Amino acid sequence: MSEILALTATETAERVRSRELSTREVFETYRDRAARVELNAFTWVAEAPPADEASAGAPLAGVPLAVKDLFCTEGVPSQAGSRILEGYRPPYTATAVAKLARAGAPLLGKTNQDEFAMGSSNENSGYGPVRNPWDRDRVPGGSSGGSAAAVAAGLAPWAIGTDTGGSIRQPAALCGIVGLKPTYGAVSRYGMIAFASSLDQAGPLTRTVADAALLLGHMVGRDPLDSTSVAFPEPIEIPERDDLAGIRLGVPSELSEETEGIELGVAGAFRATLELARQLGAEVEEIHLPHTAHGLSAYYLIAPAEASANLARFDGVRYGLRVDGGEGLREMYERTRAQGFGAEVKRRIMLGTYALSSGYYDAHYGRAQKVRTKIAEDFHAAFERFDFVVTPTSPTVAFPLGAKLDDPLAMYFNDYFTVPMPLAGIPAISIPNGLSDGLPTGFQIAGPAFSENRILAAAHALEGAIGFDGSAGRAP
Amino acid sequence: MIDREQVLHVAALARLELSGEEVDRMARELSGILDHIEKISELELDDVEPTSHVLDVSNVLRLDEPRPSLPPDVALAQAPAVAAEGFEVPSPTA
């Protein structure tokens, strides 16, 4: 068993293909670990792999997949971390999950998350917080906290999550794993329970950069069921590069290690990796992305506004919770939503409804959309001179459970380094960047739209140079 | 910045029932958040086009071909209340 845990997902796939390992052996190893409750990472675990998907030749055959709860999976609880969807079993499966199943990856389980993906600590789940495997009194980050904790703890070989303002990259950083947010439109959103539709994007959470490339390669593609999906312009390649010769890295002064509020250990780890990048041949220079400093403000108007519309569908009529009050339809709506939604979801629905309401629309939502244009222009200009923009992923390491629950603004600051990229629609990866006080930190690499192959190659080179050892998170 | 009155107005628009304690807390928290994010009002944005979407695609149409849809019993299977092959709801005029 410990032998299986030591393998990356790529290695596991190879050994299943060469019949050194059986699909059943791998599945049962991870199923038994996923069923353990200490981290509260899973909300549902499969008993056995679907019999017909053990097709031996499939590229991902025998490597079980953990799936964030907000992906609809036919007949399997899909609750998006919310009590308003308790017990909901959808009649269809999300395209991303269906594609991975067709590529051979059996569904291992559904992972806990912040309710409707709103949060950076996983404490907003209606099903209890997830714990960080590096220190169980600390948060795993969010909102894909269950997926990140499951991979870091060796409860799953790999996982998928979604990222709206950092929800793949930030928990990946806090748990010491790799997390990639693809270019907007690269992966179909069909069957993802929507948070902010112009920002939401699915992506991999994995132990290694090569695993992320392997998984992403089977997720991307135009889907007739999602009119905002586009064909990826080239195949996703498995990265092999181990140098950065000729690569130009821009360090934005607005998103640097000198940002107010960043922890010293995180800043130090970031600087050390910039030095490693130079040793690998990269040119590192300071740049300016002046509008990214306003990314959080724009994000916390746009995302709640879109959420307030998307979450209107939870009304006690077609699925999920209904609270009858004995009175009319309107009272039923209001009571169902009052009881079914948690505090953070209510806060964002209120913020979004306010930002869209008559008299405030232009000053709030309208202005935020213009800031979004300026942020995209900043990145566009940067990529004329630089291959990538690099930043720390999160300003802090994993913080203690409860530490920021009463301060929404402090919680929102967790997303400071990760919101500008989804606002611009561009891809970004977080890779493990060593420890600070015994806890993982992340290094973020962002590139132009559809530059995933180049990002993965650069991340692979840095990953080798950093030499991060994640085995402590998987013990025992 | 945001008073109780406004909170109650927005909650009604959002079809959310809030307790008295929630109304107070929401007024306080939303004021704090808006106070911070309204810093974008300092930016000069008059000639900037808004971005609602980052993709360079518009009017994506699907082929107008019939295809199977969910059978009624499957579509109704998750509903809290069903009557006469439809979703049952309390009276809108009650």
Is residue A399 within 8 angstroms of chain B, CB to CB?
Answer: no
For the segment A420-463, what is each residue's pLDDT rounded down to a tens digit?
A: 999 999 999 999 999 999 999 999 999 999 999 999 999 999 99
Q: What is the mean pLDDT of residues A343-358?
A: 95
Token digits of residue A318: 């077609």
Is residue A369 within 8 angstroms of chain B, CB to CB?
Answer: yes
For the segment A112-166, what is each residue's pLDDT rounded down to a tens digit?
A: 999 999 999 999 999 999 999 999 999 999 999 999 999 999 999 999 999 999 9
Token digits of residue A1: 């068993």
Is A143 catalytic? The answer is: yes
Is residue A404 within 8 angstroms of chain B, CB to CB?
Answer: no
Would you state the pLDDT for residue A257?
Answer: 84
Q: Do B37 and A357 touch (CB under 8 A)?
A: no
* Among candidates A308, A321, A328 on the partner chain, residue whose Cβ is nearest the Cβ of B93: A328
Find the closest chain B residue to A341 by CA distance.
B16
Contacts of A364 in chain B (CB under 8 A): 38
| Residues in CB range of A294: below 8 A, 6 or more apart | A371, A374, A375, B39, B40, B43
Would you state the pLDDT for residue A1?
Answer: 56
Contacts of B38 in chain A (CB under 8 A): 297, 364
Would you state the pLDDT for residue A144?
Answer: 98
Would you state the pLDDT for residue B53?
Answer: 84
Is residue A331 within 8 angstroms of chain B, CB to CB?
Answer: yes
> Which three-class secondary structure state does DSSP give residue A445?
strand
The H or E element that residue A231 is part of is: none
* Domains of chain B in sequence order: 1-43 (1.10.20.60)
For the segment B32-86, what is each residue's pLDDT rounded down to a tens digit?
A: 999 988 888 889 999 999 998 888 778 888 889 999 999 999 999 999 999 999 9
Token digits of residue A21: 């390992």
Q: What is the mean pLDDT of residues B21-39?
A: 93
Rounded (10°) angle between helices B20-37 and A343-356:
60
Q: Do B78 and A318 touch (CB under 8 A)?
A: yes
C-alpha Rg value of chain A to the nearest Å: 21
The overall average pLDDT reported for chain A is: 95
Q: Which of residues 432-461 of A touch B (CB under 8 A)?
A: 449
Using the predicted structure, report yes or no on whether residue A68 has a pLDDT greater than 90: yes
Q: Do B90 and A332 touch (CB under 8 A)?
A: yes
State the best of B6, B10, B58 to mutate against chain A, taking most chain A CBs within 10 Å: B10
Would you state the pLDDT for residue A416?
Answer: 96
* Domains of chain A in sequence order: 2-246+386-474 (3.90.1300.10), 293-368 (no CATH)
* Among candidates A184, A297, A449 on the partner chain, residue whose Cβ is nearest the Cβ of B39: A297
Would you state the pLDDT for residue A33?
Answer: 96
Q: Do A370 and B38 touch (CB under 8 A)?
A: no
- The verdict on ipTM greater than 0.85 is yes
Q: Do A409 and B55 touch (CB under 8 A)?
A: no
If we measure between CA atoms, which residue out of A231, A203, A223 comes closest to residue A215? A203
For the segment A178-190, what is each residue's pLDDT rounded down to a tens digit?
A: 999 999 999 999 9
φ/ψ of A204, rounded to 5, equals -85, 150
Find the closest chain A residue to B14 by CA distance.
A353
Catalytic residue among A121, A143, A256, A430: A143
State how far residue B14 is from chain A, nearest Cα, in angstroms.
6
If we measure between CA atoms, which residue out of B18, B15, B55, B38 comes closest to residue A309? B15
Q: What is the mean pLDDT of residues A338-343?
A: 97
Is A167 catalytic? The answer is: yes
Would you state the pLDDT for residue A56?
Answer: 65
Is residue A83 within 8 angstroms of chain B, CB to CB?
Answer: no
Catalytic residue among A167, A256, A308, A451: A167
Is A144 catalytic? The answer is: no
Using the predicted structure, report yes or no on whether residue A53 has a pLDDT greater than 70: no
State how far residue B69 is from chain A, nearest Cα, in angstroms.
11
Q: Among A16-25, A103-112, A157-166, A270-279, whose mean pLDDT is lowest? A: A16-25
Do A122 and A130 contact (CB within 8 A), yes or no?
yes
State the best of A324, A350, A362, A404 to mutate against chain B, taking most chain B CBs within 10 Å: A350
